[in-house]
Structure 1
Amino acid sequence: MTTGLIELDEATLVARARDRDPAAFELLVRRYQRRIYTLCLRMLNGATGDAEDVAQETFVTAWRRLPEIQHDAAFGSWLYRTATNKCLTILQRRKPTTELDEESAPHDLSGDADPARAVGNSEAMQALAVALKRLPPPQRACWLLREVHGRSYQEIADLVGTTPTAVRGRIARARAELAEVMKPWR
């Protein structure tokens, strides 16, 4: 792989990938891999296997459908939309659960030197994970895309197929529900 490719802007990499340049596509995957996987992991309630599968499917779909992307600079938004839709499809097939399994609970206590504080933070993260699981999938998707991935209301609306006003409502309801659950940790 050439070092020069790393410095190219996204639109140029997309154009090269559309011409079937595997090195350009590999760089696009590297740029988005962690973000897309993290989105999938959180949307799918910490199911690592499903998140890995959806992230991989998203990039395979991207490779196959590159010629359909009309604006090279919109590649990132297209990836987010594809991953979000795949996650929502999986969630619609599942029956809802409210239990947090051990595998999906956050356990990283390494960032805090005070053990009591670390335990409290871990408990708060577990409570947040449980609360996120209880949100309806479209609400969870909007909240994650806004609060974790920093997407605009308009972009989220485009990603989930609704209006910015509906997105604002979903996020407001999600924030209210999460704030209620998180009161003990304030």
Structure 2
Amino acid sequence: MQPPLMSWLTRLGFLAPAAAGSDECALLARLAAGDADALAQLYRRESGSVYRYALALAGDEAAALDAVQEAFAQLLRGPQGYQAGRGSLGAYLAGMARHQLLSQWRDQRRHVPLDDTLDSEPAPASDERLAQAQREDGLWAAIRRLSWPQREAITLVDLQERSYEEAAAIAGTSVDVLRTRLHRARQRLADLLDAGERP
């Protein structure tokens, strides 16, 4: 019997996006004034969640890294484009990364699947760790089988634990549409996991 879907998602180690610090506006003002250290601090604070989001959507490390780099390059070129009243800085950066991924995807006219191979042989593992790794591999394989909108919805809400409003803003859709996508994504993912399907 497989563990419930939400416990599988929890075991992946995704964390909720860090709350914006009270000095975020000050950092953005310093960035606008040309302070490179401000960009470094913002990058350390936000890049992890933006990268995990981009990787879950793209299924490709290089594409995810390119999207994160482009998001921060755009922030550097125009920090005044971020408006705090429209959502968190993390959501703003994730939205820019999403646009970069969609642009890459349109250019390639195909989705590049996640490479499941390892760079080196895994260290010997106990039966429990091996079984856990196989379950996680199965979960990632199932997530990659979801459509882009479903994968995006489940990544934003279940993996990154963003609010429906913030997730909808990043996805460029309404909360109602996001909820529908999320419901269908969870249902499809549960079916794939129950069937033990692989791509």
Q: TM-score range by the shorter chain?
A: 0.7 to 0.9
Matched with 2:153 is 142
Which residue of the other structure, out of 99, 109, 117, is the alignment partner of 1:85?
99
Map of 1:63 onto structure 2? 76
Q: Which one of 168, 192, 196 corresponds to residue 181 of structure 1?
A: 192
- Residue 69 of structure 1, CA deviation: 2.1
Gaps of 5+ in 1: 1-6
Q: 2:71·2:97 contact (CA, 8 Å) conserved in 1?
A: yes
Higher relative contact order (CA 8 A, sep 6+): 2
Letter in 1 for 2:54: C
Map Cα deviations across residues 23-57 of structure 1 (whole Å, 9 max, x no partner): 11110011112111111111111x11111111111
- Partner in structure 2 of residue 18 of structure 1: 32
Q: What RMSD in Å do the two structures reach over aligned CA positions? A: 2.7
What's the CA shift string for 1:125-155, capped at 9, x where partnerless? Answer: 1111111111111221111011111111111
Bigger share in helix: 1
CA drift at 1:184: 6.1
27-36 or 116-125, larger mean C-alpha shift:
116-125
Structure 2 residues not aligned, in runs of 5+ = 1-20
Which stretches of structure 1, 4 residues or more, deviate above 4 A after TM superposition? 107-110
Following superposition, the deviation at residue 67 of structure 1 comes to 2.2
What residue identity is the alignment partner of 2:44? Answer: R
Partner of residue 33, structure 1: 47
Q: For the residues of structure 1 that align with 2:69 and 2:123, how far apart are their CA atoms?
A: 29
Q: What secondary structure, in the 3-state scheme, does the structure 2 residue paired with 1:103 have?
A: coil
* Structure 2 counterpart of 1:40, one-letter code: A
- Residue type of the alignment partner of 1:59: F
Count of aligned pairs: 173
**Residue 101 of structure 1 aligns to which amino acid in structure 2?**
D
Summarize the alignment of residues 100-115 of structure 1 with structure 2, pairs less than 5 Å apart: 101-103=115-117, 115=126
Residue 109 of structure 1 and its aligned partner are, at CA, apart by: 7.9
Paired residues of 1:109 and 1:119 also in contact (CA < 8 A): no
- C-alpha distance in 1 between matches for 2:115 and 2:164: 32
Q: 1:94 to 1:126 in 2, by over 3 A?
A: farther
Are the equivalent residues in 2 in contact too, given 1:142–1:170 (CA < 8 A)?
A: yes
- CA distance 1:104–1:17, shift in 2 (3 Å): farther
Structure 1 residues 54 and 146: alpha-carbon distance in aligned structure 2, compared to 1, 3 A threshold? same
User: In structure 2, what is the equivalent of residue 4 of structure 1?
Assistant: none
